[in-house]
């Protein structure tokens, strides 16, 4: 007997889009992905229309599912069974996360939206952020280490839950443990002891920023990070002795097992690197961006916004886990030939651990949707993203493009007290199985590639927090644009080239800083010195850009300069 469909179906293959008759929207609108996507170089005139389209509400035509064309529809059930495993097949790769076993109840409205209750997002995992710790992070001074998301906030079983299932308290001995391994032997031992049998792992890679295809595997796969909900392992391949192999047997087994889901962002690119330099053929890899967009836009019925473009990890952490990620240093610019410092260990460990928590939160929220879309396929299968009622998002739009402006917030350097709090959970593994704690607690010097926080950068960070904290303000410009604008506007001695050197080592492109300043000024209607904007910023962009995208700013500058000259005369 045919079963009736869900009460609030928006899409059906035979009848297209059906809107709810209720005056109240069944699917409340959610905020779009933070920031706009642009090249670090100046945008071309062609980008104007796409930027405008991204900042406006999609028209009904654009909201329709592209898969309405019969060429985009999945094959019949019998044909689909031959070409790819059905949704149930993939359930076995994710255990309780797909089947809903052990999932605690949560409001069905709690789906990829900004936190308004002061409570951490619901997670079905045992390791969660205790309610008091989440509130403390929310109330902490912006820019301090205590205000950012970190694996160090999570606590495991043994605490008390409140009436809504939130973790109300936790014991200090239930922290997430981190294992830092610098030899093949310790890598194999840690994997055998702590990670075999896990069905969901977070995964990330780091490599030398200037590595080329012709250079060694150690430069191209320098650090491997994996995480379960209770433990994180960092395998520093760049420090393995020359006589050792680089691939531990258990690592190969885990990575090549399709029954173990390895979740991450831009994970196909990472796994291509594994294949090319280590000969590891990864299977069971899961792109978090696909699930993120599926949940976010299925909730609003904006299926046309679901695609396979990646969303950077920091944006997903902010939206799904409720706190900003820390960007106190660029981990990817680290010198991987040197042992990691405590602060580097925390940054690297947090990236992998975030993937586990994001997957769990998003998959729980997916299960609350009505109709419930299937879980996206593992990325190596290169299968379409499936929508309710059988429609699919074609694979043709897959791209490695990501947000060029990382929404992670800058902040103060980690304090010695904060670093000391990490020591109990981090083990630097020795070959005999004992942790080398003395190495983790040695005096900390600034990272080789890093920069001390310039007071002008700190002032910009503080202003940014206040600017974004202004209630009722809709902020269109990204964090990087606003920081660069503040540094330029409030420091007459700094031009875009000088700002580029202060913000990063190696410096940003001057054109990137120019773009940041112009976008912040244009989108936020911020004040500026007309002479400086014309001489230091507008003069550096192509003529066609001055005549198109920034023509209003150019005109306003000329008028302000002419008015000032008239007043003097």
- Whether the ω angle into residue 371 lies within 30 degrees of 0, i.e. cis, is yes
Structure tokens that stand for 91 in this block? 């359930």
Q: Where on the phi/psi map is residue 429: left (φ > 0), alpha (ψ -120 to 50), or beta?
A: beta
Cβ atoms 165, 122 nearer than 8 A: yes
- Whether the ω angle into residue 261 lies within 30 degrees of 0, i.e. cis, is no
* Interval 148-156 mean pLDDT: 92
Cβ atoms 430, 339 nearer than 8 A: no
Structure tokens that stand for 232 in this block? 């994180």
Separation of alpha carbons 249 and 462, rounded Å: 48
Instruction: Find the Cα–Cα–Cα–Cα dihedral 12, 17, 21, 24, rounded to 10°.
Output: 110
Cβ atoms 92, 259 nearer than 8 A: yes
Q: Does the pLDDT value for residue 397 go beyond 80? A: no
CA atoms within 13 Å, Cβ hemisphere of 404 = 15
Statement: 173-440 belongs to CATH 3.30.420.10: yes
**Among the ranges given (35-49, 140-154, 199-213, 507-521), the one the predictor scored with the smallest mean pLDDT:** 35-49
Domain definitions of the chain by residue range: 173-440, 455-568
Which strand (E) or helix (H) includes residue 234?
strand 231-235
* Interval 500-528 mean pLDDT: 89
Nearest to 202 by CA among 146, 263, 148: 263
pLDDT band at 75 (very low <50, low <70, confident <90, very high): very low
Which strand (E) or helix (H) includes residue 422?
helix 416-422
pLDDT per position as a tens digit, 260-289: 999 999 999 999 999 999 999 999 999 999
Q: Which residues contact 500 (CB under 8 A, 6 or more apart)?
A: 507, 508, 509, 510, 512, 513
Separation of alpha carbons 525 and 398, rounded Å: 35
Average pLDDT for the chain: 74
**Among the ranges given (310-324, 342-356, 457-471, 482-496), the one the predictor scored with the smallest mean pLDDT:** 457-471
Separation of alpha carbons 28 and 383, rounded Å: 29
Q: Convert 483-492 to b/e letters by CB count within 10 Å (16 or more is b).
A: bbbbbbbeee
Query: What is the DSSP secondary-structure string of 432-448?
Result: TS-B-HHHHTSPP---T
**How would you classify the pairing of strands 392-393 and 385-386?**
antiparallel
Q: Which range has highest mean pLDDT (69-73, 80-84, 318-322)?
A: 318-322
Q: Convert 396-431 to b/e letters by CB count within 10 Å (16 or more is b).
A: eebeeebbbbbbbbbbbbbeeebbeebeebbbbbee
CA atoms within 13 Å, Cβ hemisphere of 425 = 27
Q: Convert 223-237 to b/e letters by CB count within 10 Å (16 or more is b).
A: bbbbbbbbbbbbbbb
pLDDT band at 191 (very low <50, low <70, confident <90, very high): very high
Burial class (CB in 10 A: 0-12, 13-18, 19+), 86: exposed
Q: Which range has highest mean pLDDT (120-129, 168-177, 445-454)?
A: 120-129
Q: Does the pLDDT value for residue 367 go beyond 90? A: yes
Nearest to 291 by CA among 178, 215, 372: 372
Query: What is the DSSP secondary-structure string of 177-195?
Result: EEEEE-SHHHHHHHIIIII
pLDDT per position as a tens digit, 399-451: 544 443 444 444 444 455 544 555 556 777 765 444 443 333 333 333 344 45
Nearest to 351 by CA among 306, 317, 389: 317
Which strand (E) or helix (H) includes residue 233?
strand 231-235
Cβ atoms 178, 75 nearer than 8 A: no
Token pair 């046309």 is found at 304
Q: Does the pLDDT value for residue 211 go beyond 80? A: yes
Separation of alpha carbons 313 and 192, rounded Å: 28
Q: Which range has highest mean pLDDT (30-39, 290-299, 320-329)?
A: 290-299
Structure tokens that stand for 97 in this block? 């996360």
Nearest to 228 by CA among 127, 377, 158, 104: 127
* Interval 202-221 mean pLDDT: 91
Cβ atoms 517, 496 nearer than 8 A: yes
């Amino acid at each position: 007997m045919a079963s009736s469909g869900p009460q609030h179906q928006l899409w059906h293959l035979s009848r297209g889009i059906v809107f709810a008759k209720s005056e109240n929207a069944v699917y409340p609108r959610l905020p779009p992905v933070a920031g706009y996507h642009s090249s670090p170089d100046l945008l071309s005139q062609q980008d104007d229309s796409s930027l405008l389209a991204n900042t406006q509400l999609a028209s009904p035509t654009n909201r329709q599912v592209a898969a309405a064309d019969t060429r985009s529809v999945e094959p019949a059930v019998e044909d689909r069974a031959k070409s790819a495993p059905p949704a149930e097949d993939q359930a076995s790769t994710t255990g309780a996360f797909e089947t809903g076993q052990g999932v605690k109840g949560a409001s069905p409205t709690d789906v990829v939206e900004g936190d308004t209750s002061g409570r951490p997002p619901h997670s079905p995992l045992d390791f969660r952020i205790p309610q008091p710790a989440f509130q403390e992070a929310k109330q902490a001074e912006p820019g301090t280490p205590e205000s950012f998301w970190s694996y160090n906030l999570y606590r495991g079983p043994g605490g008390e839950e409140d009436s809504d299932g939130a973790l109300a308290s936790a014991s200090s001995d239930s922290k997430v443990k981190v294992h830092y391994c610098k030899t093949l032997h310790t890598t194999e031992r840690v994997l055998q002891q702590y990670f075999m049998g896990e069905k969901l792992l977070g995964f990330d890679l780091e490599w030398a920023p200037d590595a080329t295809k012709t250079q060694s595997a150690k430069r191209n796969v320098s650090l491997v990070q994996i995480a379960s909900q209770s433990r994180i392992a960092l395998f520093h391949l760049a420090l393995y002795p020359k006589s050792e192999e680089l691939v531990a047997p258990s690592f190969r087994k885990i990575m090549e097992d399709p029954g173990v889901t390895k979740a991450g962002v831009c994970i196909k690119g990472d796994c291509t690197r594994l294949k090319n330099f280590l000969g590891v053929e990864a299977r069971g890899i899961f792109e978090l961006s696909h699930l993120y967009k599926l949940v976010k836009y299925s909730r609003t019925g904006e299926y046309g916004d679901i695609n396979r473009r990646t969303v950077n990890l920091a944006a997903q952490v902010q939206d799904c886990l409720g706190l900003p990620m820390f960007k106190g240093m660029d981990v990817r610019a680290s010198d991987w030939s040197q042992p990691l410092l405590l602060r580097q260990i925390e940054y690297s460990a947090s990236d992998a651990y975030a993937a586990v928590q994001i997957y769990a939160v998003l998959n729980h929220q997916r299960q609350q949707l009505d109709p419930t879309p299937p879980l996206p396929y593992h990325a190596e299968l290169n299968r379409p993203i499936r929508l309710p009622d059988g429609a699919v998002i074609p694979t043709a739009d897959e791209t490695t493009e990501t947000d060029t402006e990382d929404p992670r917030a800058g902040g103060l350097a980690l304090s010695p007290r904060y670093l000391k709090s990490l020591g109990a959970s981090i083990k630097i593994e020795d070959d005999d199985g004992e942790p080398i704690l003395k190495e983790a607690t040695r005096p900390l010097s600034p990272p080789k590639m890093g920069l001390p926080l310039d007071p002008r950068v700190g002032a910009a960070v503080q202003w940014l927090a206040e600017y974004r904290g202004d209630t009722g303000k809709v902020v269109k410009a990204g964090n990087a644009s606003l920081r660069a604008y503040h540094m330029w506007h409030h420091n007459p001695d700094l031009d875009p080239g000088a700002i580029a050197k202060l913000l990063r080592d190696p410096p940003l492109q001057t054109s990137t800083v120019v773009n940041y300043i112009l976008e912040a000024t244009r989108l936020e209607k911020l004040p500026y010195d007309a002479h400086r904007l014309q001489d230091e910023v507008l003069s550096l962009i192509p003529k066609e850009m001055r005549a198109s995208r920034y023509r209003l700013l150019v005109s306003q500058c000329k008028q302000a300069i002419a008015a000032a000259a008239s007043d003097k005369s």
